[in-house]
Amino acid sequence: MAENVVADEGDDEGGDWYGVAVAALATTLLIVFWLINWELPFLLLAVVVISIVIWQACDPFADAAQWVGTTLGVPGSVRGATLDAVASSLPELFSGIFFVVLAIASVDPSNSTALEAAGAEGFGATIATCAGSAVYNMILIPAIVTMTIAAYRKSRPTIDVEDEVLARDGVWFLVCELVLLGCLYQDAMQWWMGVILILMYFFYIGQLYRDTMIYRQRVKYIAHYLNANGLETATATVVSDLAKQDHKVHPLLVDKIRDEIKSGEVEGEEEVEEVPDGAGALFGFVEIPLNGITATLILVISTALAAGACYFLVEVTRDTAHTLGVPTFFVAVILAAAASSVPDTFLSIGSAMRGDDSGAVSNAFGSNIFDICICLSVPLLVNSYLVGWGPVSLTQDGEPIAGLVGLRISLFVLTGITLAIMWHNRQLTFRKSLILCVLYGLFITYAVLGSLGILVV
């Protein structure tokens, strides 16, 4: 396992100076554009600054959530799909809620027609944000991670994806996406559709819990065998002997457990999960010791900061759409989606830098599942409540919301292509990452051309 881990030479320096430099430059340019009243560049730089704030708010939240989950004994995979997913998907959740609330608040509540149109606009922007974020997570994050690893891990410059990740997380994402597409092909979404998506998420967590228990049993069998027969026992022999005892294990898992026993990460027959000592804040320059009180405060304060940043993100997105004279949908699918996916990007890069290639990919899939099942469902329920539990229209003036048809098609097609690329040799290479970047470029081109009215979508 040692060869899988990328040493971070900046760890000893105590903080992320590159992040500070980017934040300082973006803030300086933002002030300059504000002073000279250059509106569009100001709005675009505002999105960059807001995304940095979201990133810094979600960083300590993720550490505190990991501390809570580990302290309570929550299995890692379940924690990843719940606490970690919340940490990385807070922006999508809050952005979706604010898009709906602000749109409905801008019209006369006694005017049912205006209320329905505002709800359609707000929820349309929510769909654009979550779907755009899903495309970003699914395509661009694996590409960015692969390029990063290719530059820093010369011994194995690829991202290797386990079959289980694609068979479980990839298939679950595809199923959730198909259910969502089925809902989006209706003229309106009902509140109960959100309930169905939420229930699907709980079923997903149930499978993660089951798989975690099976994994722990396999670790126990392998560790017991190696301790009894010697750490130098050939991997093929371990696999064969355990198969005779009806314990099916993968050779890569045997090698992983052997290395972890040698390094002390697995002691005896139990896998030891490290509890984080502190939460990094302010680009890693501040380390907050974690205990029950500080973890709770971090969760509350980080949530408040993320919510505030998302409020301004929604306002900037709406202002940018107004300035450009295009539907909010198209701006949200690019700007809001990318800005809200910053935490997912850094989580996946961090996993890959630690040698957890499959974790880097499953983080993206898990976040997408959370976006579809939770970050779309909660705003849907909020919208339904604000309009008296009526349906949320997906049409405007009798036609589908601008951009919705193209988004349905592109989301399905891009998912299929990306999964096929990942399935090939179960590996992502630098060349494949370039293909993924081209795919994302095509998606952005669709959004731009659609906003200009060049494409009929």
Q: Of 262 and 144, which is predicted with more confidence?
A: 144
Which residue has tokens 């890959």? 352
Q: Is 114 exposed, middle or buried (0-12, 13-18, 19+ CB in 10 A)?
A: middle
Nearest residue to 147 via CA among 340, 338, 333, 360: 360
Question: What are the beta bridge partners of residue 11?
Answer: none
Reading the block at residue 304, the tokens are: 């408040």
What is the Cα–Cα distance from 282 to 276, expressed in whole angstroms? 17
**Residue 253: pLDDT above 60?**
yes
Q: Specify the pLDDT at position 435.
A: 92
Say if CB 188 and CB 383 are below 8 A apart. Answer: no
Q: Is residue 37 packed enough to be buried (19+ CB in 10 Å), middle (13-18) or exposed (0-12)?
A: exposed
- Residue spans of the domains in the chain: they are 2-451
Q: Helices marked H in 230-291 — which ranges?
A: 235-244, 251-263
Handedness of CA 347, 353, 359, 364 (dihedral sign): positive
At CA 354, angle to CA 234 and CA 7, rounded to 5? 100
Q: 382 or 87: whose pLDDT is higher? A: 382
The overall longest dimension of the chain from CA atoms, in Å, is 77
Reply yes or no on whether the pLDDT at 428 is more than 80.
yes
Q: How many CA atoms lie within 13 A of 406 on its CB side?
A: 22
**Distance separating alpha carbons of residues 198 and 369, to the nearest angstrom:** 10
Q: What percent of the chain has pLDDT over 90?
A: 5
C-beta separation of 184 from 394 below 8 A: yes
Please name the residues in contact with 106: beta carbons below 8 A apart, sequence gap of 6 or more: 118
- pLDDT tens-digit map of 339-379: 877 777 777 777 677 666 666 677 777 788 888 899 889 99
Most confident residue range from 78-87, 117-126, 267-276: 117-126
Q: What pLDDT does residue 75 have?
A: 59
Amino acid occupying residue 124: G
Q: How is domain 2-451 classified at the architecture level of CATH?
A: Up-down Bundle (1.20)
* pTM across the whole model: 0.78
Q: Using the predicted structure, report yes or no on whether residue 218 has a pLDDT greater than 50.
A: yes
Taking residues 66-75, what's their average pLDDT?
A: 71
Q: In whole angstroms, what is the distance from residue 292 CA to residue 294 CA?
A: 6
Nearest-5° Cα angle at 76, 74 to 77 = 110
Task: Please state, in angstroms and as integers, the Cα–Cα distance from residue 145 to each residue in 15, 21, 66, 362, following that order.
Answer: 21, 21, 22, 12
Which among 101, 65, 177, 176 is positioned nearest to 378, based on CA atoms? 101
The residue that leads in pLDDT, 357 or 177, is 177
> What is the chain's mean pLDDT, rounded?
79
* pLDDT reported for residue 358: 66
Outline where DSSP puts E strands in 411-451.
427-428
